[in-house]
Chain A
Amino acid sequence: MTPSIKMRLLLWVIGGTAGLLAVFAFVVYGVMYRSLVSGFDAVLASTARTIVSSVEQNEEKIKAEIDERELPEFHRAKRPDFFQLWREDGSILARSTSLKEADLELFGALLNPVFRAVRRKELSRGKSAIRGALLNPVFRAVRLPNGRAGRAIGIVFVPKVDEEAKGPAQPQKVTLVLARETAALDSDISFLRWLLTGATGGTIILALLVGTMIVRQGLKPLDALAARIAAIRQDDLSTRIPVDRMPAEVAPVAQRLNELLRRLEEAFRRERSFTADVAHELRTPLAGIRSTLEVTLTRPRVGGEYQQAMEECLDIVRHTQAMVNNLLALAHLEGGQTILHPDALPLGEMVDSTWRPFADSVRARGITVESQVPADLTCIADRNTLLMILTNVFANAEQYTNDGGRITVTARRAGESVDLMVENTGSLLSEEDARHVFERFWRGDVSRTDTGSHFGLGLALVQRAVTSLGGTVAARVDGGTFMVQLSLPAAPAS
Chain B
Amino acid sequence: MRVLLIEDYPPIQKAVARGLREAGFAVDVTGDGEEGLWYAMNNNYDVVILDLMLPKVDGLTILKRIRSEGRSTHVLILTAKDTVPDRVQGLDLGADDYLVKPFAFEELLARVRALARRSYQAKNPRITVGDLRIETATQRVWRGQEEVQLTPREYALLEYLAVRSGEVVSRTDIWEHLYEFNSEADSNVVDVYVGYLRKKIERGGKPLLIRTFRGRGYMLGELK
Contact = CB atoms under 8 A, between A and B. Distances in A.
A451 interface: yes
Contact of B102 (A286, A447, A452): A286
Contacts of A187: none
A306 B118 CA distance: 35
Nearest to B55: A448
A233 interface: no
Contact of A286 (B18, B22, B101, B104): B101
Contacts of A290: 102-105
B101 A298 contact: no
A452 B104 contact: no
A288 B18 CA distance: 13
Contact of A316 (B11, B53, B103): B11
Interface string B88-128: 00000000000011111110100000000000000000000
A286 to B, nearest CB: 4
Interface stretch (A138-146, A242-250, A277-285, A338-346): A277-285
B5 to A, nearest CB: 11
Given A316-B11, A452-B11, A291 B55 contact: no
A445 B33 CA distance: 11
B54 A287 contact: no
A287 B14 CA distance: 12
Interface in A249-287: 276, 279-280, 283-287
Contacts of B56: 445-446
A289 interface: yes
Given A283-B102, A286-B101, A295-B16, A452 B10 contact: yes
Contacts of B18: 295
Contacts of B14: 292, 312
Contacts of A298: 19, 22, 105
Interface string B53-64: 111100000000
Interface of A is mostly: helix
Contacts of A316: 11
A287 B19 contact: no
B185 interface: no
Residue of A286, A288, A298 contacting most chain B CB atoms (<10 Å):
A288
B9 interface: yes
Interface string B10-51: 111011101100100000000110000000000000000000
A136 interface: no
B208 interface: no
A445 B52 CA distance: 12
B11 A294 contact: no
Nearest to A290: B102
Interface string A369-399: 0000000000000000000000000000000
Residue of A291, A294, A298, A452 contacting most chain B CB atoms (<10 Å):
A291
B56 to A, nearest CB: 7
A234 interface: no
A2 interface: no
Given A299-B22, A445-B55, A291 B80 contact: no
A449 B8 CA distance: 6
Contacts of A299: 22
Contacts of B101: 283-284, 286-287
Contacts of B164: none
B81 interface: yes
A298 to B, nearest CB: 6
Contacts of B105: 290-291, 294-295, 298
A298 B31 CA distance: 24
A288 B81 contact: no
A321 B19 CA distance: 26
B31 A292 contact: no
B11 A312 contact: yes
A279 B10 CA distance: 19
B104 A294 contact: yes
B77 to A, nearest CB: 13
Contacts of A294: 15, 19, 104-106
Interface in A296-318: 296, 298-299, 312-313, 315-316
A119 B130 CA distance: 158
Contact of A449 (B32, B81, B103): B32
Nearest to B23: A298
B154 to A, nearest CB: 17
B11 A291 contact: yes
Given A283-B102, A288-B12, A289-B11, A449 B19 contact: no
Contacts of A292: 11, 14-15
B119 to A, nearest CB: 24
Contacts of A446: 55-56
Nearest to B18: A295
A449 B80 contact: no
A1 B129 CA distance: 87
A276 to B, nearest CB: 8
Interface string B160-196: 0000000000000000000000000000000000000
B221 to A, nearest CB: 31
Residue of B9, B18, B22, B54 contacting most chain A CB atoms (<10 Å):
B9
Given A279-B80, A291-B105, A294-B105, A448 B8 contact: yes
Interface string A438-453: 0000000111110110
Contacts of A312: 11, 14
Interface of B: 8-12, 14-16, 18-19, 22, 31-32, 53-56, 80-83, 100-106, 108
Given A291-B102, A295-B19, 20 more contacts: A280-B53, A284-B9, A288-B11, A289-B11, A290-B103, A290-B105, A291-B11, A291-B12, A291-B19, A292-B15, A294-B15, A294-B104, A295-B16, A298-B105, A299-B22, A446-B56, A447-B55, A448-B8, A449-B32, A452-B9
24 contacts: A276-B81, A276-B83, A284-B9, A285-B11, A286-B102, A287-B12, A287-B103, A288-B12, A289-B11, A290-B103, A290-B104, A290-B105, A291-B103, A291-B105, A292-B14, A295-B19, A295-B105, A298-B105, A448-B8, A448-B54, A448-B55, A449-B31, A451-B8, A451-B9
